[in-house]
Amino acid sequence: MLNRLKDILAGHSRAPDPSERPATGSEPDSGQLDPFEVGLWDDMSSGWYRNEQDEIFKGFPVAPKDVVLDVGCGDGGRSLFCATRGCHVIYSDIDPEKVVLTAERLRGSAAREQQGIVSDTDPLPLEPETVSRVIATEIIEHVEDPGRFLGELVRVGKPGALYLLTVPGDLGEKAQVGLAAPQYFQKPNHIQVISRPEFEALIGDAGLEVVSYSEHGFFWTLWWMFFWSSAQPQVGPPWTDLLDSWARTWVALRETPQGPMVKDALDAILPKFQVVVARKPDI
């Protein structure tokens, strides 16, 4: 599955169609569905990794002229998608190993330039108005002062820059209380639970304009609840029967004629992700 994901992010493989069933077998002959492939298939149908449109998320295009900042780059998947578009990619993470991993993934890519930074974003070692695209996905819930964090991202953005920002859905987070391990809601993990009004207010107070807001990820909200309740020993195969059954149930639902409509309704009720595309006003 990791090779499949890498190909998709790099633009070598088309996004899965919602009518296509995810491949079975997370391990050879296991007979289990890989939940991360199911989740990827689900995320793409929600607007992520639109290769043909050169959009990492719907409404967030990346072009060769762009300078992209990926804050909290993690394993480098988002940076790789952008690098494939030929832009200048700056990737940062508080973990030096993540920066090294991302550099390795981008080696030989089409990026016209790449730069890795080890930073906690307070501040970023970048000049003001440096970048035209800013990506910060699932980072804000980890920081003690979200307003200060967003202010730093705004500082380095050029006038007219686009921002792709995500946080967990607040209802989905609250549903984990009592199920998740105690450290889930402790530093350095999820120390902020942010509602939609709070999210949009943070973005507006930082000086950005909200272009679009969307929610999705019911599959993942339930998956994590089942992860905790089934005592899955690790985030990897073999999966418990409950987790495997949930992945199969979700695929079976999505294959019904009403599947996409049901997915949208459930995503609105208990989303795992809140996604905002925002814009820094022109001077």
The whole domain housing 213 covers: 2-61+120-279
| pLDDT of 6 higher than 60 | no
Average pLDDT over the chain, rounded to an integer: 90
| Residue 22 located in a structural domain | yes
In a domain, 83, yes or no: no
Q: Is residue 80 part of a domain?
A: no
For 7-24, what is each residue's pLDDT tens digit? 444 444 333 333 334 443
For the stretch 77-100, pLDDT in tens is: 999 999 999 999 999 999 999 999
pLDDT tens for 197-247 read: 999 999 999 999 999 999 999 999 999 999 999 989 999 999 999 999 999
pLDDT over 60 at 26, yes or no: no
For the full predicted model, state whether its pTM sits above 0.95: no
Structural domain count, the chain: 1
Going by pLDDT thresholds of 50, 70 and 90, the confidence category of residue 32 is confident
pLDDT in tens, 63-72: 999 999 999 9
Tell me, letter by letter, the H, E, C secondary structure of 149-197: HHHHHHHHEEEEEEEEEEEECHHHHHHHCCCCCHHHHCCCCCCCCCCHH
Q: Does residue 91 lie in a domain region? A: no
Q: Is 100 part of a structural domain of the chain?
A: no
**The tokens of 226 are what?**
């089942």
Q: For position 144, which CATH number holds?
A: 3.40.50
Range 163-188 average pLDDT: 95
| pLDDT score of 10 | 47
Sign of the torsion angle spanned by Cα atoms 260, 36, 50, 118 = positive
